[in-house]
């Protein structure tokens, strides 16, 4: 179902659209009914096929049913207001001296906002994050911790809040970007130092950390960077092409400045570096929460939001830090603020009665006849089994890899069974096999997907995070049984990042797991995202077919079609590979365009330098002439 299809459905009048656009990354929108029910949510990247696409979503806005929308909630402050009080009672790392921050939105941002054909309400970025976690939780009240890398027009990069369903969200303590160090920045820089892409591959560092041990020598170096060299640390990464329409902004390392840190850090093994930064990040958050407890800011429940809490190991440590229940915003990064901002605006109304999130299947879905027409139009051979779940389970039991394309696309960073790749978790070599086919480099094992009713047999203390585990947002310790039966989904530290499925939420996957367990006795399957390397998760039928054939997976189940086998369709696969060779991908095109833009900017900068040098030479000549004249005058 596209937005245009959604507009023909019964959308309650006075619904609110949350729209995250910052000119940087994670452009997304979320349409929410007056009672708080999410109707539709998706990130721009799924349509543009560019990860973390941060450009304006003009095409998506053109499809919206504006006559049903009362207001657009944008998760950023309308302007920057310098706070009079900046001291945090919780954050443990205050900078040696405050540094000025240039965090104002570009005029292009306001030009975009003016084009929105509806009343706009700006919502604090922090509150938007917190709302995205609290209103989707099962809690009546909770402490809410938010932490990310910052946002334009925002003096804060995180804080602790108290949330209550009757009283809303109230700040308790906030972290000033001018006065306190960001552990998120250090994690980004370490990610780049280890050869990964900052702001994308931090999860690889989290996985790598389990293979090493944190050290005091490495910790001392990192703390020195945070406390004494924060400005220099900040200069190692920069955003290029922000607020552009033609190319998505991205963060890139400053090679010269990063090299200075490389010399000091890379004296240590990469596993030790990864383990140390992971341990520091965990300890940092636990110290904040311990100080909150000392101040009497306590609750049985904790909600987490912001980019830092994409780190599933940190989330586990928080869940073990004296809380009975934990919930993490399923879209914890900035795309989730679209949903949070809409919820916050609606929370001021009497009609607002949100229920706990049970599904993140909020993106586009495709009618069976459309999917079938695409498949048949390409001459693809398929079989339509009477019982798809039983057929898929049988293939998986034989060791096949099966991609699944069904229903509405997931909102957020995780594939949750509608755009997933499934495989047996019994074979520890499946991780290597899948990484090879999908051209991935992963240190974290693939996640297990299993039935809710089997959770206690697989995981320890699962009740603390049962709701969070429906969305694959936290690691948990595994039982000896799971470690023995399904080693492919258990990390070297004995943890896994599960997704728990109910029959109500995802009937096909739940039934497949049931049939698979009957055949094998195994309670879980491998679940990894269905996408081509370095592309977003697939969205459309065409995305699914291209991803399937280019990755040479064994089978693809498509709702409304049936099961497609790679064998027997090699001619179609050959066509896709030919097309891939003939036509560059969207990412390749963007890289080419980026290279041209950088060359143009470098040329303009060099021309500017040449002009400045000419002016300097003229001024220098004039100054020398003046000095000579003055000297002659003084001698006479």
The pLDDT of residue 585 is: 59
The pLDDT of residue 593 is: 59
Per the CB < 8 A criterion, the answer to whether 479 and 454 are in contact is no
| Residue 8 CB burial class (10 angstroms; 0-12, 13-18, ≥19) | exposed
The pLDDT of residue 201 is: 93
Report the C-alpha gap between 115 and 120 in whole angstroms: 10
For 405, phi and psi rounded to 5 degrees?
Answer: -130, 110
For 511, phi and psi rounded to 5 degrees?
Answer: -65, -35
Report the C-alpha gap between 171 and 438 in whole angstroms: 43
Report the C-alpha gap between 248 and 566 in whole angstroms: 34
DSSP 22-52: -SSS--EEEEE-TTS-EEEEEETHHHH--TT
| Residue 122 CB burial class (10 angstroms; 0-12, 13-18, ≥19) | middle
Report the C-alpha gap between 632 and 610 in whole angstroms: 33
Smallest CA-to-CA distance from 15 within 24, 27, 6, 2 is with 6
The pLDDT of residue 629 is: 63
The pLDDT of residue 472 is: 98
**Class at the top of the CATH hierarchy for domain 368-577:** alpha beta
Q: How far is CA 64 from CA 60, 342, 375, 564, in A?
A: 7, 15, 28, 34
Per the CB < 8 A criterion, the answer to whether 42 and 1 are in contact is no
Other Cβ atoms within 10 Å of 287 Cβ, number: 14
| Sequence ranges of the domains in the chain | 368-577, 584-636
Other Cβ atoms within 10 Å of 545 Cβ, number: 25
Helix (H) / strand (E) element for 343: namely: helix 336-346
- For 536-550, how does the pLDDT look when each residue is reduced to its tens digit (9 = 90+)? 999 999 999 999 999
Other Cβ atoms within 10 Å of 164 Cβ, number: 14
Per the CB < 8 A criterion, the answer to whether 176 and 88 are in contact is yes
User: Which residue bears the tokens 């039982």?
Assistant: 479
Report the C-alpha gap between 56 and 23 in whole angstroms: 7
The pLDDT of residue 194 is: 94
The pLDDT of residue 608 is: 57
Q: Which residues contact 167 (CB under 8 A, 6 or more apart)?
A: none
Token pair, residue 215, equals 């050290």
Report the C-alpha gap between 184 and 308 in whole angstroms: 6
Parallel, antiparallel or unpaired: strands 476-477 and 495-496: antiparallel
Report the C-alpha gap between 266 and 381 in whole angstroms: 52
Smallest CA-to-CA distance from 58 within 15, 13, 19 is with 19
Series of mean pLDDT values for 10-residue runs along the chain (636 residues): 58 96 96 97 96 95 94 96 93 90 89 96 98 98 97 96 96 97 97 93 95 96 93 91 92 88 90 98 98 98 98 98 97 98 96 96 95 96 97 98 98 97 94 86 87 98 98 98 97 97 98 98 98 92 97 96 97 91 63 59 56 60 62 59
The pLDDT of residue 17 is: 98
Report the C-alpha gap between 66 and 605 in whole angstroms: 43
The pLDDT of residue 635 is: 56
Report the C-alpha gap between 526 and 435 in whole angstroms: 13
């Amino acid at each position: 179902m596209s937005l245009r299809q959604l507009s023909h459905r019964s959308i309650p009048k006075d619904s609110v659209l949350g729209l995250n656009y910052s000119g940087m990354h994670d452009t997304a929108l979320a349409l929410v009914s007056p009672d708080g029910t999410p109707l539709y949510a998706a990130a721009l990247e799924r349509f543009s096929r560019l990860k973390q696409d941060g450009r304006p979503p003009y095409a998506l806005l053109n499809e919206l049913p504006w006559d049903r929308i009362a207001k657009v909630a944008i998760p950023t402050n309308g302007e920057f207001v310098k706070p009079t009080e900046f001291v945090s009672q919780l954050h443990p790392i205050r900078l040696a001296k405050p540094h000025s921050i240039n965090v104002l939105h570009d005029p292009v941002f306001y030009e975009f906002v003016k084009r929105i054909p509806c009343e706009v309400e700006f919502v604090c970025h922090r509150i938007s994050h917190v709302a995205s976690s609290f209103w989707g939780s099962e809690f009546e009240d909770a402490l809410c911790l938010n932490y990310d890398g910052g946002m334009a027009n925002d003096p804060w990069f995180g804080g602790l809040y108290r949330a209550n369903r009757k009283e809303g969200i109230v700040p308790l303590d906030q972290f000033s970007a001018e006065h306190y160090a960001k552990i998120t920045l250090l994690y980004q820089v370490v990610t780049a130092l280890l050869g990964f892409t900052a702001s994308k591959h931090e999860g690889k560092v989290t996985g790598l950390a389990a293979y090493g041990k944190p050290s005091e020598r490495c910790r001392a170096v990192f703390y020195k960077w945070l406390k004494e060299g924060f400005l220099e640390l900040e200069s190692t990464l920069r955003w290029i092409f922000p607020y552009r329409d033609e190319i998505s902004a991205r963060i890139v390392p400053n090679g010269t400045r990063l090299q200075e840190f490389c010399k000091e850090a890379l004296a240590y093994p990469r596993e030790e570096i990864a383990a140390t930064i992971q341990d520091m990040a965990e300890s940092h958050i636990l110290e904040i929460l311990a100080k909150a407890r000392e101040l009497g800011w306590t609750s049985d429940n904790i909600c987490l939001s912001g980019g830092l809490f994409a780190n599933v190991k940190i989330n586990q440590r928080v869940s073990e830090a004296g809380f009975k229940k934990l919930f993490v915003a399923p879209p914890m990064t900035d795309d989730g603020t679209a949903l949070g901002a809409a919820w916050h605006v609606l929370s001021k109304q009497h009609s607002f009665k949100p229920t706990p999130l049970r599904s993140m299947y909020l993106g586009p879905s495709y009618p069976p006849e459309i999917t079938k027409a695409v498949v048949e139009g390409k001459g693809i051979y398929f079989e339509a089994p009477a019982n798809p779940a039983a057929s898929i389970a049988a293939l998986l039991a034989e060791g096949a890899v099966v991609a699944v394309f069904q229903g509405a696309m997931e909102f957020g960073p995780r594939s949750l069974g509608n755009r997933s790749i499934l495989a047996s978790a019994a074979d520890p070599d499946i991780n290597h096999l899948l990484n090879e086919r999908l051209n991935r480099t992963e240190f974290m094992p693939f996640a297990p997907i299993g039935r809710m009713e089997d959770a206690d047999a697989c995981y320890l203390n699962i009740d603390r995070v049962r709701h969070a585990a429906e969305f694959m947002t936290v690691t948990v310790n595994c039982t000896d049984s799971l470690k023995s039966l399904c080693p492919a989904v258990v990390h070297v530290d004995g943890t896994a990042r599960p997704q728990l499925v109910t029959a109500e939420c995802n009937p096909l996957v739940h039934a497949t797991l049931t049939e698979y367990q009957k055949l094998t006795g195994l309670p879980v399957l491998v679940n990894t995202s269905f996408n081509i390397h370095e592309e977003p998760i697939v969205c459309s039928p065409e995305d699914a077919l291209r991803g399937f054939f280019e990755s040479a997976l064994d089978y693809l189940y498509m709702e409304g079609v049936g099961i497609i086998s790679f064998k027997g369709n090699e001619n179609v696969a050959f066509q896709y590979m030919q097309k891939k060779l003939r036509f560059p991908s969207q990412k390749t095109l963007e890289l080419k365009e980026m290279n041209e833009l950088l060359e143009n900017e470098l040329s303009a900068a060099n021309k500017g330098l040449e002009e400045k040098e000419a002016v300097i030479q003229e001024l220098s000549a004039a100054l020398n002439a003046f000095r000579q004249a003055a000297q002659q005058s003084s001698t006479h």
